[in-house]
Structure 1
Amino acid sequence: MEERIKSNLIIIGGAEDKEGDKNILKEVCSHIDKDKDELLIATVASGVPEELGDQYKYIFSGLGVKNIAILNVKERKDAYDDYHVNLISRASIVFFTGGDQLRITSLIGGTPLYRMMKKRYEEGCMFVGTSAGASVMSDTMIVTGPEEESPRKCTLKMAPGLGLIKGVIIDQHFAQRGRIGRLLVGISENPESIGIGIDEDTAIIVNREAQFSVIGSGAVYVIDGSEITKTNVSEQNPDEILSICNIKMHILKKDDKYDLNRRTP
């Protein structure tokens, strides 16, 4: 079944440039009327939300955005508060910062704030996520897993994400933290999904036709397990080295494109 994207998404691999050219953050700003529209910085994932919110507010203000609000949900009860729900209702862009992706889903999942977020997404509000805010965009997300080592079975913890984009598993800080092994485990367990690993200071812009283009200074790695012919992932002996045959990978750079429905660059 073809994926349907309700609104444009910008999914960032984390550590986007905040001091130099700021090309990715400038791209975010290009999608709104900087004088009229409101940009909402959602610090839900962060353990230091005030500090991070102020940092992004300063940056986006410097890029010309006039109307900036901050969504700080520290406890689940905050996601039932009309004030926070109204912040989502009037935003033109919602920008999820980094932190812990499980904080986002556990704090807002199933709440009035989450329902308003889905409503605004259906209405065309753009959603942006960096680092943990990137992983949470999909319907299935990686929570934890080993880094910089050979892929092993039964070593990955996954959970439901926000479901703004379906049929993909997103990982971030990809090359910098050696995360290819854990994404391979994720795709071997969910071969119908497409794995997308995004380097730091790199992003994908996903349009309504489920096609994305790459921006930024790093690479994007697309892992397609739909034609896997053999894997030991479902066999006994957990923690054994993972074996996968006939898995496909594309490595994309700035300006490259990929069609998620056709599974082709």
Structure 2
Amino acid sequence: MANEIQRQLVIIGGAEDKEGDCIILREFVRRAGGTKAKVVIMTAATELPREVGENYIRIFERLGAEQARIIDTETREDASSSTALKAVEEATGVFFTGGDQARITSILKDTDLDAAIHKRYAEGIVVGGTSAGAAVMPDIMIVEGDSETNPRINMVDLGPGMGFLPGIVIDQHFSQRGRLGRLISALAQQPAVLGFGIDENTAMVITGDKMEVVGEGVITVVDENELVHNNVDEILRDEPLAFCGARLHILPHGYKFDLKTHKPILDGRSVVNNEGNELAASVS
């Protein structure tokens, strides 16, 4: 029986190492096929597509990819280009650069190119993104917001994402910009029950339902699956948000998390306490 195709994502919190060991980008290239990797670089998010795209071409080729090329989409019409569609069809990896996540969705969402990338993703190629390219991965994304500790409804604006990882919300540059408040605010306003805050030079590397942390920072996981109370329906937009009963996980490099069971994994098993019961959180 053929092996089930595992969908792969490399979601980076921004400011990834591009000059040294490039651990995260190296992992992306490895998953895309190593020396046989054919990577397309999506520059829709940035206002400097040529400069940013050529920098990633140099990096991916230095890491051993067979081919790296830019798909520059300045307008939605560009997202129907036969050249771009052919490049995606031949690619083994698709990488979204940083910039402005709203530019990605306004140009690409619900286009022929969007459909082509999702088709190839379902077939098993790796899709990656950094900063804005990470923000667009859920079906509902953080468009923009204030970095404040105390969550309020009006501190974050949400919008449709690209839908590679539905049912979650992602924030990036997380610890560096103090974004716990806005991640909680985003979670409180939409159906997703898992929130991931990804530090800079840190990535969520996902295969199927399993996530592994790669990089120098941590990933903060907020799980509201068993939330007992919030006051979203009782407050005005600028008033403090209550958020009671959520679970918090802090996961550094090498730690894993099961996206289906919502539990951290240590040595191939969920974390358990002395009584043999599964624990909700793993803090290292």
TM-score past 0.5 threshold: yes
Work out whether residues 147 and 177 of structure 1, in 8 Å CA contact, stay in contact via their aligned partners in 2.
Answer: yes
**Residue in 1 that maps onto 2:238:** 239
Higher relative contact order (CA 8 A, sep 6+): 1
Q: Which runs of 5+ in 2 are unaligned?
A: 265-284
**Residue in 2 that maps onto 1:256:** 255
**Structure-2 separation of matches of 1:243 and 1:182:** 13
Q: For residue 41 of structure 2, what is the amino acid of its counterpart?
A: I
**Structure-1 separation of matches of 2:86 and 2:225:** 41
> Post-superposition shift, 1:192?
4.1
Q: 1:40-119, aligned counterparts within 5 Å?
A: 40-119=40-119
**Structure-1 separation of matches of 2:5 and 2:48:** 31
Q: Which runs of 4+ in 1 moved over 3 A?
A: 32-37
SS state at 2:233 partner? coil
Deviations, residues 118-139 of structure 1 (Å, cap 9, x unaligned): 1111111110111111111111
> Compared with structure 1, are the counterparts of its residues 5 and 165 closer, same or farther at alpha carbon in structure 2 (3 Å cutoff)?
farther
> Post-superposition shift, 1:215?
0.7
Asked if residue 182 in structure 1 is aligned to residue 187 in structure 2, the reply is no
Work out whether residues 5 and 124 of structure 2, in 8 Å CA contact, stay in contact via their aligned partners in 1.
Answer: no
> Post-superposition shift, 1:6?
5.2
Deviations, residues 3-56 of structure 1 (Å, cap 9, x unaligned): x99511111101001111111111111123344331111111111111100111
Work out whether residues 32 and 125 of structure 2, in 8 Å CA contact, stay in contact via their aligned partners in 1.
Answer: no
SS state at 1:154 partner? helix
The percentage of aligned residue pairs carrying the same residue is 43
Asked if residue 194 in structure 1 is aligned to residue 163 in structure 2, the reply is no
Q: For residue 235 of structure 2, what is the amino acid of its counterpart?
A: Q
**Structure-2 separation of matches of 1:203 and 1:154:** 28
SS state at 2:165 partner? coil
Asked if residue 228 in structure 1 is aligned to residue 246 in structure 2, the reply is no
**Structure-2 separation of matches of 1:180 and 1:51:** 32
Deviations, residues 209-247 of structure 1 (Å, cap 9, x unaligned): x11010100000000112111211122322001111111
Q: For residue 108 of structure 1, what is the amino acid of its counterpart?
A: L
> Compared with structure 1, are the counterparts of its residues 190 and 88 closer, same or farther at alpha carbon in structure 2 (3 Å cutoff)?
same
Work out whether residues 79 and 113 of structure 2, in 8 Å CA contact, stay in contact via their aligned partners in 1.
Answer: yes
**Structure-2 separation of matches of 1:32 and 1:263:** 27
**Structure-2 separation of matches of 1:217 and 1:224:** 23
**Residue in 2 that maps onto 1:33:** 33
> Post-superposition shift, 1:148?
3.2
SS state at 1:30 partner? helix
**Residue in 2 that maps onto 1:24:** 24
SS state at 1:24 partner? helix
> Post-superposition shift, 1:71?
0.8
Query: How many equivalent residue pairs?
Result: 261
Work out whether residues 33 and 92 of structure 2, in 8 Å CA contact, stay in contact via their aligned partners in 1.
Answer: no
Q: For residue 232 of structure 2, what is the amino acid of its counterpart?
A: V
> Compared with structure 1, are the counterparts of its residues 192 and 70 closer, same or farther at alpha carbon in structure 2 (3 Å cutoff)?
closer
SS state at 2:39 partner? strand
**Residue in 1 that maps onto 2:279:** none
Q: Which runs of 5+ in 1 are unaligned?
A: none
> Compared with structure 1, are the counterparts of its residues 49 and 32 closer, same or farther at alpha carbon in structure 2 (3 Å cutoff)?
same
SS state at 1:94 partner? strand
What RMSD in Å do the two structures reach over aligned CA positions?
Answer: 1.5
**Residue in 2 that maps onto 1:14:** 14
Work out whether residues 222 and 249 of structure 1, in 8 Å CA contact, stay in contact via their aligned partners in 2.
Answer: yes
> Post-superposition shift, 1:193?
2.2
> Post-superposition shift, 1:70?
0.7
> Post-superposition shift, 1:82?
1.0
> Post-superposition shift, 1:257?
0.6
> Post-superposition shift, 1:155?
2.7
Q: 1:150-229, aligned counterparts within 5 Å?
A: 150-190=150-190, 192-208=192-208, 210-229=209-228
